[in-house]
Amino acid sequence: MRLPRVYAITDRRLTGLSHAEQVRRLADGGIRLIQLREKEASPRDFYLQAREAVTIARELGVTVLINDRVDIALAVGADGVHLGQDDLPPEKARMLLGPDRLIGFSTHSLEQAREADALPVDYIAIGPVFPTRTKEKPDPVVGIEMVRAVRAWTRKPLVAIGGITLETAPQVIAAGADAVAVIADLVGAPDITARARQYVEVLSAL
């Protein structure tokens, strides 16, 4: 799997926009990989929103992953899921999703990343690299050095996440990340499309 440099994650609380509208604005800025992240809506509400977002993503040529919920990913025909340490184990998710859909997996230490290297996942996420404000109870900050350490250990595509900004993203890529996952500095911008375009232009040159 070849990851695009920029990996956007939606956030309705931060933007006040539907997941579908966020997908549209991000895609207009050149983003091609988007995760739908929803922590407040009921399963039915998230299903309806995700279905609309995936429909728009198909029209715009965008890959969409669902955070946490394998059942919703299957129901809406998403391209895959992103799982955390407390979600359905990747092995079980792979059994349900089959061989072709994408599975990403969050790790927060070198030990977890080593374990993830042997799992049936398409990419490993490491973080938070910097302090983040999009999680109520974030894991301890791991820093750029952890990105380097994980890169030295795994050949799987590596996504860095957590507090990353346009200014720090090039440092994270230089440390070995294949992509940066961004929430606040991207969808929290006054003009999401313009901010997305900036990310794509800056990181595509690296």
- pLDDT, residue 181, reads 98
Q: Which residues pair with 9 in a beta bridge?
A: 35
Q: Which amino acid is at 77?
A: G
Q: Is the CB of residue 48 less than 8 Å from the CB of residue 18?
A: no
Residue 106 to residues 20, 58, 120, 129, 158: CA-CA distances in angstroms? 24, 25, 13, 12, 10
Q: Which residues pair with 123 in a beta bridge?
A: 104
Q: What is the mean pLDDT of the chain?
A: 96
* Average confidence (pLDDT) over 35-57: 96
* Average confidence (pLDDT) over 5-18: 97
Helix (H, G, I), strand (E, B) or coil at 6: strand
pLDDT at 134 over 90: no
Q: Using pLDDT thresholds of 50, 70 and 90, give the confidence band for residue 136.
A: low
- pLDDT, residue 139, reads 83
- pLDDT, residue 137, reads 74
| The two structure tokens encoding residue 106 | 């969050």
- pLDDT, residue 165, reads 98
pLDDT of 145-160, one tens digit each? 999 999 999 999 999 9
pLDDT of 61-120, one tens digit each? 999 999 999 999 999 999 999 999 999 999 999 999 999 999 999 999 999 999 999 999
CA distance 175 to 156: 15
Question: Does pTM surpass 0.85?
Answer: yes
| The two structure tokens encoding residue 146 | 């952890």
- pLDDT, residue 132, reads 83
Length, in residues, of the chain: 206
Label the pairing between strands 179-182 and 63-67: unpaired
H/E stretch holding 189 reads: none
Helices 19-28, 192-204: crossing angle, 10 deg rounding: 50
Q: Which residues are catalytic?
A: 37, 106, 135
- pLDDT, residue 93, reads 98
CA distance 196 to 201: 9
CA distance 200 to 87: 30
pLDDT of 14-38, one tens digit each? 999 999 999 999 999 999 999 999 9
